A and B are shown apart, each in its own frame.
Chain A
Amino acid sequence: MRYGFYLPTRGQTATPGALETLVKRGESLGFASVMIADHLVFPVSIKSRYPYTVSGDFPGQGDVLDQLSLMAFVAAKTTRLRLVTSVMIVPYRNPVLTAKALATIDAPGRGDRRVPPRLQDALDRESRVLLRAFLSLRRAPLSAPARSEAAPADLGGRPQQGRPATGGAPRRRLASGRRQRLGPAAAVGAVRIARRALSPHRGRGARPQGADDLVQGAGVRPRPAGARRTATVLG
């Protein structure tokens, strides 16, 4: 049996000194991995019931740190722990920048590989579908006045009381009251693929890969040298 532990991402224990202490202590105690949660935004007030506390209250307080920035910090503090995204709210992120950040954290030549090596392979293999899903998602944005029935936690697959972990395709409510699927490729597909890609237990092998490879793998034709590549990917 292997064990992991969560790092705080907010509150009094989410300071550089405290985080380093926790990482090093966990490493010395024999833990194998460290988990970092993802909350791009955090409501000031949460009335929804949190399923993992007896009271139903969401624990913790304070501003929340960015997942990948924190992961880069932790990567510099440990030599053995595997870094794991407990959940990544993929639809809110630019896929190329996300892949680039992960590839940077897992930069080759460090001497040890901290992000699960299979991540790279999975991104390479699935990048085409992933990018298509994100491009599709851009056509049906998760933005007001549309309202997604699925909470961000749902998209990440965390179990909710009374319904399956991942549920069906998220829907948004149109102004007319009619509910419209966000498109399986856009929402569910993107999350499922990304979760598979980010799982530390899937795929095998690894090779260094950056954003340029991801663009090529997606079948997007790069513009001539000197052109803005960002526009090529997302336009």
Chain B
Amino acid sequence: MYDLGQRVRGERRPFSGDAAQVADDIAAFARLGVSEIVFDFRSESLAESLERMESFGPVVRQTAGV
């Protein structure tokens, strides 16, 4: 989960964007057979790490049944 704001070759990086876009990416991986995904919210400060983790909370709830 590094450099999520940056595009690569003009494309959005997987698992970046708003919650709906991330959920779409997760659904795509689920269709391929993925059942567990590990994210990296680490940063240089605890506040930022928590913010990144909590921003993912809605995605966790939204895709729990995927």
Interface residues of A (CB under 8 A from B): 1-8, 11-13, 18, 21-22, 25-26, 29-33, 35, 52-55, 59-60, 84, 86
A3 adjacent to B38 (CB under 8 Å): yes
Whether a CB of chain A sits under 8 angstroms from the CB of B20 is no
The residue that B49 contacts in the complex, of A2, A8, A52, A59, with Cβ under 8 A, is: A8
A1 adjacent to B53 (CB under 8 Å): no
B42 adjacent to A59 (CB under 8 Å): yes
Whether a CB of chain A sits under 8 angstroms from the CB of B11 is no
Chain B nearest CB, measured from A55 CB (Å): 7
The residue that B38 contacts in the complex, of A22, A25, A33, A54, with Cβ under 8 A, is: A33
Query: Contacts A1-B64, A54-B2, A54-B3 hold; do A86 and B53 have CB atoms under 8 A apart?
Result: no
Q: Which residues of A contact B49 (CB under 8 A)?
A: 8, 13, 18, 22
Interface code B17-45, partner A: CB below 8 Å = 1, 0 otherwise?
00000000010001000111111111111
A4–B41 CA distance with the chains assembled, in angstroms: 10
B26 adjacent to A1 (CB under 8 Å): yes
Q: Which residues of A contact B37 (CB under 8 A)?
A: 1-4
Q: Which residues of B contact A86 (CB under 8 A)?
A: 38
Chain B nearest CB, measured from A218 CB (Å): 32
Q: Which residues of B contact A35 (CB under 8 A)?
A: 38
